[in-house]
């Protein structure tokens, strides 16, 4: 039987605002966690390890290999019922589980650890006033390329049918 990795967990409970202000607060927290972990030697080594065999200076291939790793190796698991949780990129890399925000933070930290610029994208699908999902974009060869590692889709795909969409300010 294969069991998920079980690193020691720790955390901090933070009060979060509700509604759209809470969404922007969550995005700021996500960005802080990416900034904190993108210089972690384990995160840098992870990015180098999964992209090592791609052609040098081929931005798309390098980013795609990192995207494929997160998409194929991190299992989607929802947050605790009724509680928004954010797991640091390093912890997500160790646990190999997380929801959309955890997976995109890991993907952003891995990409940024090897020099790419990323931004978060928030989208709503059922209510034109509510955000329900976060994915990300990476700047490749001067163009923003969408990346949603929670779906079994290629780099560049973005979730269809959003009623509302907004971008993190970078």
Domain CATH code at residue 133: 3.10.620.30
- Provide the domain count of the chain: 1
User: Domain span at residue 49?
Assistant: 20-167
Residue 13's pLDDT is 55
Whether the CB-CB separation of 134 and 121 falls below 8 Å is answered with yes
Q: What is the pTM of this model?
A: 0.92
Phi/psi of residue 73, each to 5°? -120, -10
- Give domain status of residue 155, yes or no: yes
* Low-confidence residues of the chain: pLDDT under 50: none
Residue 139's pLDDT is 98
- Give domain status of residue 4, yes or no: no
Question: Closest by alpha carbon to 143, among 107, 168, 112, 119?
Answer: 119
Residue 15's pLDDT is 62
CA angle, 46 then 32 then 58, to 5°: 40
- Give domain status of residue 3, yes or no: no
- Give domain status of residue 117, yes or no: yes
- Return left, alpha or beta for 96; rule: phi > 0 is left, psi -120 to 50 is alpha, else beta: left
Residue 48's pLDDT is 98
* Size of the chain in residues: 170
- Give domain status of residue 1, yes or no: no
- Give domain status of residue 143, yes or no: yes
- Give domain status of residue 14, yes or no: no
- Give domain status of residue 27, yes or no: yes
């Amino acid at each position: 039987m294969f069991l998920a990795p079980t690193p020691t967990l720790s955390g901090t409970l933070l009060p979060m605002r509700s509604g759209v202000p809470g969404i922007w607060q969550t995005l700021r927290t996500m960005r802080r966690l990416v900034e904190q972990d993108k210089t972690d030697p384990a995160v840098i080594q992870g990015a180098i390890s999964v992209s090592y065999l791609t052609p040098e200076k081929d931005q798309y291939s390098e980013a795609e290999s990192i995207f494929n790793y997160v998409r194929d190796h991190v299992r989607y698991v929802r947050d605790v019922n009724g509680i928004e949780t954010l797991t640091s990129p390093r912890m997500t890399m160790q646990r190999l589980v997380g929801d959309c925000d955890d997976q995109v933070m890991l993907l952003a930290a891995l990409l940024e650890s090897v020099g790419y610029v990323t931004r978060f994208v928030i989208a709503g699908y059922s209510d034109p006033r509510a955000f329900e999902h976060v994915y990300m974009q990476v700047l490749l060869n001067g163009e923003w390329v969408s990346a949603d590692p929670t779906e079994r889709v290629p780099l560049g795909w973005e979730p269809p049918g959003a009623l509302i969409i907004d971008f993190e300010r970078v």
